[in-house]
Structure 1
Amino acid sequence: MLRKIVIENLGVFRHLSMEFAPRLNILCGTNGTGKSFLLDSVWFALTHRWPIEPVTSIKKARIECIGSDSSGDHMDYSASFDRSEQEWTWSPDKFDNTGLVFYARADGGLCVADSVQGNSLALSLHEIWNGREKSGKFVCEGLVSDVLKWQNRRSEELAMFEKILEALSPSNFKIRLSLPTRISLDDVRDIPTVALPYGNVPVLHTSSGIRRILTLAYCLTWVYSEHCRACNVAGMSYDSRMTFLMDDVEANLHPDWQGSILESIFAAISALRGSLENVQLFVATKSPMVTGWAKVHFDFPLDGMLELREDEKKYVMLDDSPLLTCKI
């Protein structure tokens, strides 16, 4: 669990010190205030790797973190950027702070890190749907292939996927899988379909909002399933720790759906794991529907809303309004 982060001379931040709530942290602010970069920094703090491209600085950059390990013990650790070597150095160089880290990026891609497998993986939106092959082996078979396989086998993954899909559905209808179908003379694949109020629709032809939810449901199912399989192969117990990061959480969703998406994410993770225990969430938003829900439903010892804004010198800083912050 990450309790605090201090960022010096990096990205849009000259100096940012931020304490985090143990359950839900909402990062809000206008465009250009560094919400996405802050999520990238949280990922970096937890995994020692930047999500996509390494972040560099022409100044003396540093990230300091306070967290807790798998035993709940307090940990201090930091990273400094060496300009001559163009690389980041961590002190201490190894620590146990990861568990399962899930990052749904604003571009639709996914980053995942698993302490059991000892590596991290970044997938594009295209790869999430169609799979990725590396050196003749599939790293991920993709939503279209996996969901069809789960349906044919009536597997545990199918039951998990359907539970998560129902939890993430909007309040006025439930998204459910239906029978696969062919959609083209040129494509011999059977394509999964979803049953919507107006009929069955191939997943490749669904709206952007439905596709976003299908992507999130599939990624959660696939990531947790692979974690459980890795634990079984390694003869290890499942790691109870999970950090969930999601950028632009309201993207492509109707305002009514935006207003319930955080509650839906809570329900989806609970359906996946059985509870929210040892789960820490970070989501970025600029939607008043999302923040409006938060102000009504927050449990402030557990949850926090953190607003980034520019000061008079155009430096990004943390808004210290007591209405919007927790434990700052």
Structure 2
Amino acid sequence: MLERLEMEGVGPSPRLSFEFAPRLNLLTGDNGLGKTFVLELAWWALTRHWDDAPSLRRADWKGRSFIAADIRGVNSRTHIHHELGAQDVQIFVPPENGLTVYARVDGSFSLWDRIRNGRRDGHSLVPSLPAYDFTPDELWNRLEKDGRTLCNGLIHDWVAWQIKNAEPFQRLKKVLAALSPGAHEPLVPGEPTRISIDDVRDIPTLQMPYGVVPLTHASAAVKRIVGLAYLLVWAWEEHVRAAEFRNEPVTDHIVLLVDELESHLHPRWQRLILPSLLEVVRALREDVKVQVIAVTHSPLVLASAEPLFDEAQDALFMFDLVDREVQATKAEWRPRGDANAWLTSEVFDLKEPRSVEAEQAITAAKAALKDPNLPIEEVRRIHNALYRVLRDTDPFWPRWLARAEAAGIDP
């Protein structure tokens, strides 16, 4: 579990620091303020693996640049301190028996398993094999490296598990059920099918309300969620096998890093995905704990967190641009009640949960309500603007009509 992450002279801000909660951590804020960057550094801290180029020192930074983190395992804590530009000779000890899964917004995934991706060097663990990095195509078809097959891929494994009715397939069905968009549209496997005379593979299918759909023809949302479900089950199965092979205990916790949790999902699904993620790990094993660090721009995701949010286990971090500097602060949790209230809260900073034109018209109308001496021509202009952009059932009308009538305007 990642307890703390700190960076100085790195990324979009001179200094950022996070004290992560043990269960749920939500990162929200405007685009381009570094939320994905924080996920990348969290991934590095947990795995000591860079997916792309290492984080770069800020060009305008005169002091030392470093990344630091505290990680808690089953029986120990690990501190990492990495200075950019300095030779890092510290032996990295990953958290005991941890699994870390990183779901990116482009449909790619990364996985790090302490047992499979680490080897013993004396009494410590040091990185051995690189993490498993999956492009969308590799996740579905096969992941290979240096002539070795690291993963057979979703299409092959799903069908093989299903034909044998093996335990992984039963686990996959439970995970799919947990991640489904609702009881009206459950993710239920159908019978594998051929989709072309030029492709000899049997392709997994889903039983949708309107018929059976091959996974290769599914929507982007379904593909992303199904890919996550498969990766979790495959990672767990291979972790258990590796633990047996090396005679080591199976992990009791998983860390999930998810970028743009709501990506591709219908609003109805957005309301369910966060509670589902917290529950889905129980489909792997009842006693496994999960820490989620997720980026979201969705007020529905935040509204869905209200019934389950526990300040002792969960945290909300807001990214803001203040005086040309990015700041990330842990927000005091306060339920808002609905998505509109979240939109107009300090989290999203919208004045109105409406169109830009409606917001402008209402802003002008609110100012007019405070000015009894406004010329009737201006009151009429505002009234006409409201009439163009608001429905007659809009809750703002009762506030405005008394002002319009006082100015002699026929509503």
Structure-1-length-normalised TM-score: 0.91
Contact 1:266 1:276 in 2 (8 A): no
Q: CA deviation at 1:45?
A: 1.0
1:80 is aligned, of 73, 79, 83, to 83
Contact 2:5 2:69 in 1 (8 A): yes
- Matched residue, 1:177: 189
When residues 310 and 187 of structure 1 are mapped into structure 2, their CA distance, relative to the original with a 3 A threshold, is: same
- Matched residue, 2:103: 104
The alignment status of 1:295 with 2:306, answered yes or no, reads: yes
Deviations 1:232-277 (A, max 9, x none): 1111111213211111110010011101101111221111121453
Q: Which amino acid aligns with 2:266?
A: H
Q: CA deviation at 1:50?
A: 1.6
What is the alpha-carbon distance in structure 1 between the residues aligned to residue 83 and residue 92 of structure 2? 14
What is the alpha-carbon distance in structure 1 between the residues aligned to residue 95 and residue 12 of structure 2? 26
Q: Equivalent residues in 2 for 1:111-190 (5 A)?
A: 111-117=110-116, 118=118, 119=129, 120-171=131-182, 172-190=184-202
- Matched residue, 1:22: 22
SS in 1 for 2:282: helix
SS in 2 for 1:260: helix
- Matched residue, 2:122: none
Contact 1:248 1:283 in 2 (8 A): yes
Q: Equivalent residues in 2 for 1:31-70 (5 A)?
A: 31-57=31-57, 58=59, 59=61, 60-70=64-74
Where structure 1 has 5 or more consecutive residues not aligned to the other structure, the ranges are none
Q: Equivalent residues in 2 for 1:300-315 (5 A)?
A: 300-312=311-323, 314-315=324-325
Report the count of equivalent residues.
317
Q: CA deviation at 1:149?
A: 0.8
Q: Which amino acid aligns with 2:267?
A: P
The alignment status of 1:243 with 2:255, answered yes or no, reads: yes
When residues 153 and 269 of structure 1 are mapped into structure 2, their CA distance, relative to the original with a 3 A threshold, is: same
Deviations 1:98-122 (A, max 9, x none): 6111111111111111111114211
1:217 is aligned, of 211, 229, 233, to 229
When residues 140 and 74 of structure 1 are mapped into structure 2, their CA distance, relative to the original with a 3 A threshold, is: closer
When residues 25 and 321 of structure 1 are mapped into structure 2, their CA distance, relative to the original with a 3 A threshold, is: closer
When residues 320 and 181 of structure 1 are mapped into structure 2, their CA distance, relative to the original with a 3 A threshold, is: closer
SS in 2 for 1:175: coil
Q: Equivalent residues in 2 for 1:261-276 (5 A)?
A: 261-276=273-288
Q: Which amino acid aligns with 1:239?
A: T
Q: CA deviation at 1:77?
A: 2.5
CA RMSD of aligned residues (A): 1.8
Deviations 1:70-92 (A, max 9, x none): 30x44432111116xxxx626x4
What is the alpha-carbon distance in structure 2 between the residues aligned to residue 14 and residue 176 of structure 1? 48
Where structure 2 has 5 or more consecutive residues not aligned to the other structure, the ranges are 119-128, 336-411
What is the alpha-carbon distance in structure 2 between the residues aligned to residue 96 and residue 133 of structure 1? 24
- Matched residue, 2:332: 322
* Structure having the larger proportion of residues in strand: 1
What is the alpha-carbon distance in structure 2 between the residues aligned to residue 4 and residue 298 of structure 1? 20
Q: CA deviation at 1:28?
A: 0.9
Contact 2:315 2:331 in 1 (8 A): no
The farther-off stretch of 74-83 and 136-145 is 74-83
What is the alpha-carbon distance in structure 1 between the residues aligned to residue 330 and residue 296 of structure 2? 18
Q: CA deviation at 1:320?
A: 4.9
What is the alpha-carbon distance in structure 2 between the residues aligned to residue 62 and residue 199 of structure 1? 54
Contact 1:8 1:16 in 2 (8 A): yes
Q: Which amino acid aligns with 1:315?
A: E
Larger radius of gyration: 2
SS in 2 for 1:281: strand
The alignment status of 1:227 with 2:230, answered yes or no, reads: no
What is the alpha-carbon distance in structure 1 between the residues aligned to residue 70 and residue 153 of structure 2? 36
Deviations 1:94-144 (A, max 9, x none): 223261111111111111111111142111111001112233321111111
The farther-off stretch of 4-13 and 20-29 is 4-13
What is the alpha-carbon distance in structure 2 between the residues aligned to residue 276 and residue 308 of structure 1? 31
Q: Which amino acid aligns with 1:319?
A: T
- Matched residue, 2:92: 94
Q: CA deviation at 1:192?
A: 1.0
Identity of aligned residues (%): 35
When residues 11 and 78 of structure 1 are mapped into structure 2, their CA distance, relative to the original with a 3 A threshold, is: same
Contact 1:180 1:191 in 2 (8 A): yes
What is the alpha-carbon distance in structure 1 between the residues aligned to residue 330 and residue 206 of structure 2? 45
Contact 2:275 2:305 in 1 (8 A): no
What is the alpha-carbon distance in structure 2 between the residues aligned to residue 320 and residue 265 of structure 1? 22
